[in-house]
Amino acid sequence: MGSKTKKILFVCFLLICFIFINNSSIFVSKSGRPYLLAHRGLAQTFPMEGLTADTNTAAIIYEPEHPYLENTIASMQAAFAAGADIVELDIQLTKDGQFAVFHDWLLDYRTNGSGAVREYTLKELKQLDIGYGYTADNGRTYPFRGKGVGLMPALEEVLAAFPEQELLLHLKSEDKEAGEKLADYLSTLPTDRLKLLSVYGADGPIAVLQERLPDLRVMSKATMKRALLSYLLIGWTGYIPRSLRNTQLHLPINYACFLWGWPHRFVQRMDTVNTRIIIVNGSGKWSEGFDTKEDLQKLPKDYSGGIWTNRIDIIAPFFKDK
C-alpha cells in the first residue's frame, strides 16, 4: 500500500470519526420530558386503516369514552387539563372574512348543514350542530346529535379563552387569500401572544405568512422539503441551514432515524434555532398519533422533543413524574 493511499485512508478515517462524534447522541445530556401536542384538543377517535381523503371519519368513530368534540373550546380545555403543552386546531376562512374553528371544508359529514364552510358567515355557522353526524354503530345511534349546537368557535374566541397557552393553527385552505387574511389578523396581536402560536398548512398561504410575519413559526410541505433536504446534505457538519431555523417539523417516526444526530443531538440543535420537532406515528399520512402505551415504546429512550397524540388523556399520565 502506497503512502498516498495511506494518507487518503487516514483522512477518511478522521472524517468518519468526526461525523460520528459530531452527530452522536452519546455525548448529549438527556433531561426533561417530551412536550405533548393534543391533536384537535381531546377528540373522538377512529381507526386509521383504509382511510382516504374522502372518508367520513365522523361516521366511523370508536365507542365514545369521553364527551368532547374536536376543535371546541371545551375539548381544548380538557386537553390542557389532561397535560397537553400545546393544542392543535383547524381554522377555516368564512364568507364574512373571519376564521371558524372546524376541520372539514364541507359541513355535510359532521353537522346538520351542507356545502362548504366558506359559503357561510360565522354567525350562520354557529347555529349548526357540530355533533350531528357522529356515529359509532353505522348510524343506528348518534350520541352527540343535538349536543353540538353553537359549539363551533371563532379563532378569536379560542385565543381569548387560552391567552397564555401554546396553540398550533392548521390553516385549512390552499388559497393565498386565506394567508393574507390570517396575516392581517395575527399582525394585530401582541408580540408575546404571537410567540405562543405556530401555523401550518398549504404552500401558498404559508408562504404569505412567512413573508409577512418572519418571526412566526410556520410549516408547509415546501418548508419541510427545503429544510430536510438541506439538512441531509450538510447537517453532518453541525451547521443548521437557514431553512431549518424558526420553523416547525412534523416528523414521522418511521423516517426520523435518518436525520443527522437523531434523536438527542438533533433535538438539541433544533432547540437552539427555535424550531419545534413533533414526532407523529407511522408514516404520518393521516395524523397518526401516539395514542396508547404500546405506541410510546416506539420513541427513543429519553426523547425530549414533541409528541403528537389524539388521546392526550391516555398519554399524558405516563409523563407526569418526568
Q: pLDDT for 20-72, tens place per residue?
A: 888 988 878 777 789 999 999 999 999 988 888 889 999 999 999 999 999 99
End-to-end alpha-carbon separation of the chain, Å? 55
Residues forming the active site = 39, 103
Averaged confidence pLDDT in the chain: 94
**Cα 151 from Cα 145, distance rounded (Å):** 12
140 occurs within a structural domain: no
* Higher local confidence (pLDDT), 92 or 28: 92
For 100-150, how does the pLDDT look when each residue is reduced to its tens digit (9 = 90+)? 999 999 999 999 999 999 999 999 999 999 999 999 999 999 999 999 999
> If phi over 0 gives left and psi between -120 and 50 gives alpha, with beta otherwise, what is residue 192?
alpha
> If phi over 0 gives left and psi between -120 and 50 gives alpha, with beta otherwise, what is residue 166?
beta
223 occurs within a structural domain: no
287 occurs within a structural domain: no
pLDDT band at 320 (very low <50, low <70, confident <90, very high): confident
Q: Which residue blocks in 35-190 are alpha helix, DSSP H? A: 73-82, 122-125, 155-161, 176-186
Sign of CA dihedral 169, 172, 178, 180: positive
pLDDT for position 308: 97
| Most distant CA atoms of the chain, gap in Å | 84
How many Cα atoms are found within 13 Å in the side-chain-facing hemisphere of 271?
A: 12
301 occurs within a structural domain: no
Read off the DSSP letter of residue 304: -
- In the predicted structure, residue 321 carries a pLDDT above the cut 80: no
Contact call for residues 250 and 219 (beta carbons, < 8 A) = yes
17 occurs within a structural domain: no
- pTM, to two decimals: 0.94
244 occurs within a structural domain: no
**Cα 184 from Cα 39, distance rounded (Å):** 25
146 occurs within a structural domain: no
pLDDT for position 8: 76
> Can you read off the three cell numbers belonging to residue 297?
415504546
How many Cα atoms are found within 13 Å in the side-chain-facing hemisphere of 221?
A: 6
Number of domains, the chain: 1
Domain hosting residue 186, numbered range:
173-218
Percent of the chain at pLDDT above 70? Answer: 99
197 occurs within a structural domain: yes
Q: Which of 28, 55, 20, 60 is nearest to 44 (CA)?
A: 60
Q: What are phi and psi of 291, to 5 degrees?
A: -115, -5
